[in-house]
Structure 1
Amino acid sequence: MSIQNISSFAAGHWVAPGAGARHIASAITGEVIATAGNDALDVQAMLDYARNVGGPALRKMTFHDRARMLKALALHLRQNRKAMYELSFNTGATQADHQIDIDGGIGTMLVFASKGRREMPDSTIYVDGELEQLSRNGTFMGQHICTPIQGVAVHINAFNFPVWGMLEKLAPTLLAGVPAIVKPATSTCYVTELCVHIMIDSGILPDGAVQLVAGGLGDMLDHLNCQDAVAFTGSADTALKLRSNPLILGNSVRFTSEADSLNASILGPDAKPGSPEFDLFIKEVSREMTTKAGQKCTAIRRIIAPEAVTEAVIEALSARLSKTVIGDPRLETTRMGALVSAGQKRDVLEKAALLGTEAERVFGNPDDFTVEGADANKGAFVPPMLFHCAAPDTAKHVHASEAFGPVSTLMGYRDLDHAIALANKGQGSLVASIITRDAEVAREVAMGAGAFHGRLYFNNRDSMGESTGHGSPLPHMVHGGPGRAGGGEELGGIRAVKHYMQRTAIQGSPDILTGIRQQWVPGAKESDAGAHPFTRRFGELAVGETLYTKPREITLEDIEHFANFTGDTFYAHMDEDAAARNPFFPGRVAHGYLLLSFAAGLFVEPNEGPVLANTGLDTLRFMKPVVAGDRLKVRLTVKKKTKRNEEYGEVRWHVTASNQDDEMVAEYELLTMVAY
């Protein structure tokens, strides 16, 4: 077998392994398949290249530009994923595992591409939160904004997900406008290198946006400053060592960590044997023990069930685990492959022996199991191992030592408070799952355990058909956890993008804030283009462009006709005496939706034109009742423009409706699609 040289991609060039390179063995056969590492990498040149080439190029792009880049990148990776599949088998991963790692990483990138287009502006500045009026008359205002940090993000990833682990960090980083230097775990870096090769060769990324270190980082962390960030996934011990770097501390370098996690799954007291919930619990635990051979940071390490059903859990779980075919992951019949390396196998067996001092192994014998299509002694294979801890309150290793493989420990609880206390003994985890159909049980667990877990996953017969599983971090939701789980946070939609941006409070006049935000602020200058704005195409409209309408009198006949036509005969519109008794109204008043309808009638241009559709309205509120005899007038201002595609864009209009005394009676934002 030929040995592959795994190169780093540094300062725009591929650099072959050199001094300090180490061998990488196949998880299946134990044979050396690759060499990686080069102690001679010029880390300062890599940092300079990212800061001076990659960063400026990304920051020139808008969030939508970057989102389109991510989508193109993800689709290109999807077209070339089969090559990554083939290479990834050597990590011990099965085809099903590839779908979690490779397809999951690509899917995560697509989600961030979509969110970037839908939830972020077509601008280089992200407006965070609402305006704050800091003065009585509104001439001095405040706003939080986010802008990209002007350094580099160093991503240090774990061995278990060589593709997803990279892409789930890379997608929000690039969307934020920040270049990244990726350092995968050496034992599986050959899969990451192929993925980076595919991305670089695509020509989609600007120069300097992504670099790769295959092997050690050297002293790179010693060269970081306040504009840089480090995102780490791995052991708690390594996280502590990196976080404690004096220069990282002294320069206040952003550091996020996702570390060890003794995740728990609780079987609710209502989930009796024979129920759909009990069967679901067994299925979830078995899947989490065997997927990726248990090498998942979200895998279930502690199984918490009512004391009365622990024997039933052991019996059902053992029966299901016994059907797990262990073998060469390239075989279609294999359901669980190997651990990533011989070293990882030794570590798992050592930790399992440690658990064995406090718990009885009730399933799985590492000295006697069958491996299909491979040599169990040469490959890094272990069987699923289930332990039962009869005294979980006094146990230490069960709640503190993670065997990062197909190993889990069952323990019984007396009542729900006891179950919560056991789950929290892990001192912080990425996820805890609760299988229950009882909403009160769910609420108690959320209150009692929420502070110790980054995610709480509830499932039962009602949701199991569409649920994504205990161990599946989703790009939409936060991934991370307190305490031993690292205290960091990844994913979570646009929250993840903000981790690579600086939140800044800006203060100034409405005109200044309008200029910075590129969104019109009430009180800022308005312009009159002359022609009706609904006759103007997307590119012709300017932020701040305003239309003032003529007034329309509201009559009692209008109110009664609207009530009878719509069926909304609420007493405040139809009964003078009853309305007068209401503390909010002086007597009969016009419907709020009548005001909206009349407002549209005042500002709409009826003829065919560039306005294609009204897609909704936001932030509607009614400030003052309108009675018969009042005269309604409208101000319509272009607040914000967002390009959607080559044919049309979204225009957000700020709308105010006032009476004859210039008192505002309603305010909202109207959304329309306008042709280019």
Structure 2
Amino acid sequence: MKMLIGGEWVNAKSGEEIMVVNPATQKFLDTVPNATKEDVANCLHHAGKGQKEWASLSLYVRTAVLAKCADRIKQQRDELATLLSSETGKTIKEAEKEISNTSLIFKSFAEKANHLYGQVMPDIHEGMEKDISFTRREPLGVIVCIVPFNFPANLFAQKVAPALACGNGVIVKPASDNPLTALRLSEILLECGVPGNALQIVTGKGSTVGKWLVDNPMINGVSLTGSTEVGMEIAKDAAKYLHRVFLELGGNDAFIIFEDADLASAVEEAVRTRAGNAGQMCCASKRFLVHEQIKEKFTNALVNRLSKLVIGDPLDPCTEMGCLISEKAAIQVEEGIKHTIEQGAKCIYGGKRFNKTFFPPTVLTDVTPEMDISKDLEVFGPVFPIIEFSSGEEAIRIANQTKYGLQNGIMSADISKAIEVASRLKSGAVVINGGCNYRHVEMPFGGCKMSGIGREGVSCTLEEMSQVKTYVLKSVLNTK
């Protein structure tokens, strides 16, 4: 597939390409251009013109286009889901759900944008009784949307839909491992009426293409979902020009399971929120804090449940867990487990990758709060480190000792206790009666501390991707 620059599908100026393979089979899928600095400069040249063209359309015209995009994505769910599963390694059921959510996100932002109101200031300021001051929202300008590999369709929608709804120009930088779904979605948007210079998509390595796009005065904002390390580099480059920055970064989320929790439900939530997408989720449950009274029972039940998990061909509807995005990613998970074992943990289930990119669910016991995995070591795979606690105070201390603050989960039969604990956890969200992995399309998703800046979701992103202008009509009222 080619990349989209200035309304045309083009190769890189150098002719260099990046091969895209199916991570489950290692079979060739397609190639994409490895963009050069000249390609990026050309893209930026078109972006400003495209933004003005798109913003000149009335809001109802723009949102009608986005609603049409939502319908088209829904109609082509099966095709998109198959492509998504093939290039990412997630199960076909997970891919189908993601494409359905992608359609919903486009539809929801179109509806929300049609009801985004300005404000009129009250006449409480003495001497200004004859004035009328009101606000309107205007586009930021050109926004670079950097989309990660783990949810390439969903997060494409969470960034691109609100940016376009607000009248911004958009440049998408997809992950180099699996850019095909984002490219196909871009084709659909063009077919539905988005101008080809208002939406552009540039493929290539993030370390170069991403930097060229962000470290540039011709853009106005950056929306990134990725690692904390990459987010810090992006923020540094953006700071030179005071670009508005939205960063959804890493996490090492704690799932706290109290002694009065329903054991069967806790196990199911643990599996769902850690084995889903083969553990490659920023808000997955990554630290399992289990009360000492039920730790042994929970561990045995967890291993028993994981032993029945069907791992295999992602395109097989019976498969419950697919593979990781690449062999490199699987090796990194293996290294994280090895490091934790060297610090004193025991691996009682799983632990070794197979077929290059597949990694079995892995249970680690004897994990102490002092170990790296209990603090800031984010393992991006299906690993279950079980950490014992004896009191609510201890659980809160362990949960909060990480540099991250994305989401947490609590299981307890005592709702008052759960809410009290939730109020003391330093994170952007807390799931009560469930694991950490939860994302409603409307919720203001995001974290604190090193988990990012800003929030993303239908309830808030339109405000983030627009700016307020105040209009003052001076001395227009005849007041006594």
Q: Same fold (TM over 0.5)?
A: yes
Residue 285 of structure 1: CA displacement? 0.9
Residue 231 of structure 2, aligned match among 235, 239, 255: 239
Residue 504 of structure 1: CA displacement? 3.5
Q: In structure 2, how many angstroms separate the alpha carbons of the residues matched to 1:412 and 1:492?
A: 37
Residue 410 of structure 1, aligned match among 365, 386, 389: 386
Q: In structure 2, how many angstroms separate the alpha carbons of the residues matched to 1:212 and 1:329?
A: 27
Q: In structure 1, how many angstroms separate the alpha carbons of the residues matched to 2:350 and 2:59?
A: 51
Matched, 1:299 2:284: yes
Residues 362-397 of structure 1 deviation map (CA, whole Å, 9 limit, x = unaligned): 322316xxxxxxxx42x41110112124421x2233
Residue 28 of structure 1: CA displacement? 1.2
Q: In structure 2, how many angstroms separate the alpha carbons of the residues matched to 1:159 and 1:186?
A: 8
Between 173-182 and 80-89, the greater mean CA deviation after superposition: 80-89
Matched, 1:11 2:6: yes
Distance 1:116 1:382, change over 3 A: same
Within a 5 Å distance, the mapping from 1:461-500 to structure 2 comes to: 470-493=436-459, 495-500=460-465
Match of 2:113 in 1: 116
Residue 100 of structure 1: CA displacement? 3.5
Residue 164 of structure 1: CA displacement? 0.9
Distance 1:137 1:104, change over 3 A: closer
Distance 1:86 1:135, change over 3 A: same
Q: So what's the TM-score if we normalise by structure 1?
A: 0.66
Within a 5 Å distance, the mapping from 1:39-438 to structure 2 comes to: 39-40=35-36, 41-53=38-50, 55-90=51-86, 91-117=88-114, 119-120=115-116, 126-128=117-119, 131=122, 133-135=124-126, 138-149=129-140, 151-200=141-190, 202-216=191-205, 217=209, 219-225=212-218, 228-245=220-237, 248-271=238-261, 275=262, 278-358=263-343, 359-366=345-352, 376-377=354-355, 379-392=356-369, 394-438=370-414
Q: In structure 2, how many angstroms separate the alpha carbons of the residues matched to 1:239 and 1:66?
A: 30
Any conservation in 1 of the 2:77–2:96 contact (CA below 8 Å)?
no
Q: In structure 2, how many angstroms separate the alpha carbons of the residues matched to 1:453 and 1:128?
A: 31
**One-letter amino acid of the structure 2 residue matched with residue 214 of structure 1:** T
Any conservation in 2 of the 1:430–1:480 contact (CA below 8 Å)?
yes
Match of 1:504 in 2: 469
Percent identity of equivalent pairs:
26
Match of 2:428 in 1: 454
Match of 2:417 in 1: 441
Any conservation in 1 of the 2:32–2:203 contact (CA below 8 Å)?
yes
Between 256-265 and 203-212, the greater mean CA deviation after superposition: 203-212
Residues 229-256 of structure 1 deviation map (CA, whole Å, 9 limit, x = unaligned): 01111111111122212xx222101112
Residues 617-669 of structure 1 deviation map (CA, whole Å, 9 limit, x = unaligned): xxxxxxxxxxxxxxxxxxxxxxxxxxxxxxxxxxxxxxxxxxxxx9xxxxxxx
Any conservation in 2 of the 1:434–1:442 contact (CA below 8 Å)?
yes
**One-letter amino acid of the structure 2 residue matched with residue 484 of structure 1:** M
User: Helix, strand or coil for the counterpart of 1:479?
Assistant: coil
Distance 1:31 1:174, change over 3 A: same
Between 95-104 and 400-409, the greater mean CA deviation after superposition: 95-104
Distance 1:524 1:174, change over 3 A: farther
Residue 267 of structure 1: CA displacement? 1.6
Residue 86 of structure 1: CA displacement? 1.9
Distance 1:488 1:170, change over 3 A: same
Count how many residue pairs are aligned between Structure 1 and Structure 2: 472
Residue 187 of structure 1: CA displacement? 0.4
User: Helix, strand or coil for the counterpart of 2:111?
Assistant: helix
Q: In structure 1, how many angstroms separate the alpha carbons of the residues matched to 2:337 and 2:101?
A: 29
User: Helix, strand or coil for the counterpart of 1:211?
Assistant: strand
Higher Rg of the two aligned structures: 1
User: Helix, strand or coil for the counterpart of 2:177?
Assistant: helix
**One-letter amino acid of the structure 2 residue matched with residue 399 of structure 1:** K
Match of 2:23 in 1: 27
**One-letter amino acid of the structure 2 residue matched with residue 116 of structure 1:** A
Structure 2 portions without partners, runs of 5+: none
Residue 168 of structure 1: CA displacement? 1.0
**One-letter amino acid of the structure 2 residue matched with residue 381 of structure 1:** F
**One-letter amino acid of the structure 2 residue matched with residue 63 of structure 1:** L
User: Helix, strand or coil for the counterpart of 1:443?
Assistant: helix
**One-letter amino acid of the structure 2 residue matched with residue 456 of structure 1:** V
**One-letter amino acid of the structure 1 residue matched with residue 90 of structure 2:** A
**One-letter amino acid of the structure 2 residue matched with residue 164 of structure 1:** N
**One-letter amino acid of the structure 2 residue matched with residue 402 of structure 1:** E
**One-letter amino acid of the structure 2 residue matched with residue 477 of structure 1:** M
Any conservation in 1 of the 2:73–2:102 contact (CA below 8 Å)?
no
Larger RCO (CA under 8 A, 6+ residues apart): 2
Any conservation in 2 of the 1:30–1:380 contact (CA below 8 Å)?
no
Residue 287 of structure 1: CA displacement? 0.9
User: Helix, strand or coil for the counterpart of 1:349?
Assistant: helix
| RMSD between aligned residues | 2.4
Q: In structure 1, how many angstroms separate the alpha carbons of the residues matched to 2:72 and 2:8?
A: 21
Residues 254-294 of structure 1 deviation map (CA, whole Å, 9 limit, x = unaligned): 112111111111123432xxx3xx32221111012221111
Within a 5 Å distance, the mapping from 1:536-575 to structure 2 comes to: none
